[in-house]
């Protein structure tokens, strides 16, 4: 039996994508990797509660307690090294990581973004803002993308995409929920399994 990839999930908020990963691990959709650690940059993130309920170790690294971005990232790296992490998953992590950080983990950081990249992505496009922009533009199809993370926001190689049709009565909130349910929660676990498998083979 080959070893499983050791996964850290970085979060900032409610942790719905983290929950999708935990559920997928339980169902065996993710079998080549195991979530060993959840790191949050927000002490009040509900994602931390989700992790504790699933008996996953947690850590908090707060930017306001760090002198600068470098110290913030170094504290995260210390935790990743302590847990011997192979793969980092950004699941609603509201902090852009520098090239110093991303180059250390080339092709080992993945992120889920709530649109079909290259639409509605890059700096300033996150959360509801993505769905607001899609509705404003009048596109008929949106979706989600899982991609590798590099120094350019949403600029890394695409791993998986899934399309979701927009309805005429959609609001940013209804669209966000549907994109999560139909796209993000499906392709993120699949991508985690795919990348984990490659890392251990």
- Indicate the domain borders of the chain: 5-200
Active-site residues, by number, are 113
Helices 128-137 and 172-179, axial angle in degrees (round to 10)? 110
For residues 33-54, average pLDDT: 97
Phi, psi of 116 (to 5 degrees): -90, 95
Residue 201 has pLDDT above 90, yes or no: no
pLDDT at 1: 40
Q: In angstroms, rounded to a whole number, what is the distance separating the alpha carbons of residues 125 and 115?
A: 10
Mean pLDDT across the stretch 31-46?
97
Range list of β-strands (E), the chain: 5-11, 33-40, 57-60, 87-90, 109-113, 141-148, 158-165
How far apart are the C-alpha atoms of 179 and 162, rounded to whole Å? 9
Q: Report phi then psi at 159, rounded to 5.
A: -100, -50
Cross-strand pairs, 10: 39, 90
Nearest alpha carbon to residue 83 among 21, 8, 19, 25: 8
The CATH number of the structural domain formed by 5-200 is: 3.40.50.170
Give the per-residue pLDDT at 2.
57
Question: pLDDT tens digit string along 144-200?
Answer: 999 999 988 899 999 999 999 999 999 999 999 999 999 999 999 999 999 999 999
> Which DSSP symbol is given to 170?
-
Peptide bond between residue 130 and the one before it cis (omega within 30 degrees of 0) = no
> What's the confidence (pLDDT) of residue 124?
87
Q: What is the mean pLDDT of residues 20-49?
A: 97
């Amino acid at each position: 039996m080959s070893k499983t990839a050791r996964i850290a999930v970085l979060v900032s908020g409610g942790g719905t994508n983290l929950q999708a990963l935990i559920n997928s691990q339980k169902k065996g959709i993710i079998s080549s990797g195991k979530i060993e650690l959840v790191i949050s940059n927000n002490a009040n993130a509900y994602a931390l509660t989700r992790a504790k309920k699933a008996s996953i170790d947690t850590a908090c690294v707060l930017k306001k307690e760090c002198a600068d971005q470098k110290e913030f990232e170094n504290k995260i790296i210390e935790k990743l090294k302590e847990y011997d992490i192979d793969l980092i998953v950004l699941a609603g992590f509201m902090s852009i990581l520098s090239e110093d950080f991303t180059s250390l983990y080339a092709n080992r950081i993945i992120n889920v973004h709530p649109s079909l990249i290259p639409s509605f992505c890059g700096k300033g496009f996150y959360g509801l803002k993505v769905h607001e922009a899609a509705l404003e533009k009048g596109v008929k199809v949106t979706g989600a993308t899982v991609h590798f993370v590099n120094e350019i926001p949403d600029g890394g190689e695409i791993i998986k995409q899934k399309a979701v049709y927009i309805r005429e009565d959609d609001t940013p909130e209804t669209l966000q929920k549907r994109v999560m349910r139909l796209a993000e929660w499906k392709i993120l676990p699949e991508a985690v399994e795919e990348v984990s498998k490659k890392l251990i083979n």
